[in-house]
Amino acid sequence: MSALEKSYRGKKVVVTGGLGFIGSTLAIRLAEMGACVTVIDSLIDDYGGNLFNLHGYEDRIRINIADVRTAPTMNYLVRGQHYIFNLAGQVSHLDSMEDPYTDLEINCRSQLSILEACRRFNPEVKIVFAATRQQYGKPQYLPVDERHLMLPTDVNGINKIAGEMYHLLYNNVYGIRACSLRLTNTYGPRMLMKHNRQGFVGVFIRQAMNGEEIKIFGDGKQRRDFNYVDDVVEAFLLVGADDRANGEAFNLGSSEVFNHLDFVKTLIAVAGAGSYTIVPFPENKKKIDIGDYYGNYEKIRSLVGWQPATPLKAGLSKTVAYFQQHQKHYWPQA
């Protein structure tokens, strides 16, 4: 048994947003390590929660359909837990601009609800928060490190900054051990595929597998980094188990950087289907686009030894294979 497995075996762990893409993958890994896992998810339409994501693990993972904004519910559910992986949130940049109040509720009020419940009823817990590279906005230099100014281009980025800062504040003032991971483009099995409001990766994979034409906005030269979901889960587990991470925020990232065009070409080759065309940016998306982005992940690498292990082509191959097998549970309903 590895030292990491020992940290979680027999421990009580909550994963908020645990029926979503990353949350469910994390919950399954924890269950396989011998943790006593409870997932909390509101199953709000279009936010990514999917009961099939925990298929085959229903008898090993407790599922609680609840909204983390509900204080009495969270006051009860945080009691006795050793770890909370806090992935509940609204992650659509477009939705945050069209409905900023809901984004504020889910990405700020919900975080305070969780943290206040911990302060009052479980101050010994360790919390890891899922933040985003969107907090930085348009990079002023590359690769982006944690010292880069945060000037987000959308409401979601602003509210995610607040959510992260609440966690670090409660660490520093109340002693509730907390840290944050700033995620980049995460992909893999169980990701949301039924609409395109949570980023381009999922919809591009679906379109390629359907043999459709993928529309690449702009000139296709925007550069991005990508993380396979298993590597992201490893990062959550490493910082969760290591108290040296307390009070810190960390970038994730990749040694591989692809522009949109090369990403699509790789995807089409893996899927064996699909085509692409270059089209102008829609105005609503152009206003909040951040241009090139790729992160410097040296801070988390040097502290806990994390680095991405899955090359893009291999990760896309695993992703396509999963959705070929389970497509009916993820594709939009006709």
pLDDT tens-place string over residues 114-160:
999 999 999 999 999 999 999 999 999 999 999 999 999 999 999 99
Residues of the chain above pLDDT 70, percent: 98
Per-residue burial over 206-227, b = 16 or more CB atoms within 10 Å of its CB, e = otherwise: bbbbeeeebbbbbebebbbbbb
Domains of the chain: 3-192+226-253+294-310 (3.40.50.720)
Half-sphere exposure of residue 84: CA atoms within 13 angstroms, side-chain side: 30
Task: With beta carbons less than 8 A apart as the criterion, state whether 196 and 48 touch.
Answer: no
User: What letter represents residue 77's amino acid?
Assistant: L
Query: Could you give the CA distance from residue 33 to residue 17 in angstroms, rounded to a whole number?
Result: 20
Whole-number pLDDT of residue 198: 61
- Give the model confidence (pLDDT) of 13-66 as tens digits: 999 999 999 999 999 999 999 999 999 999 987 677 999 999 999 999 999 999
CA distance 321 to 319: 5
pLDDT tens for 268-308 read 999 999 999 999 888 777 777 888 999 999 999 999 999 99
- Indicate if the pLDDT at residue 314 is higher than 90: yes
One-letter amino acid for residue 19 of the chain: L
Beta 83-86 vs 257-259: how paired, if at all? unpaired
Instruction: Tell me if 183 sits within 8 A of 232, measured CB to CB.
Output: yes
Burial class (CB in 10 A: 0-12, 13-18, 19+), 124: exposed
- pLDDT level of residue 197 (50, 70, 90 thresholds): low
What would the pLDDT profile of 90-117 be if each residue is shown by its tens digit? 777 677 788 899 888 888 999 999 999 9
How far apart, in whole angstroms, are the C-alpha atoms of residue 20 and residue 41?
8
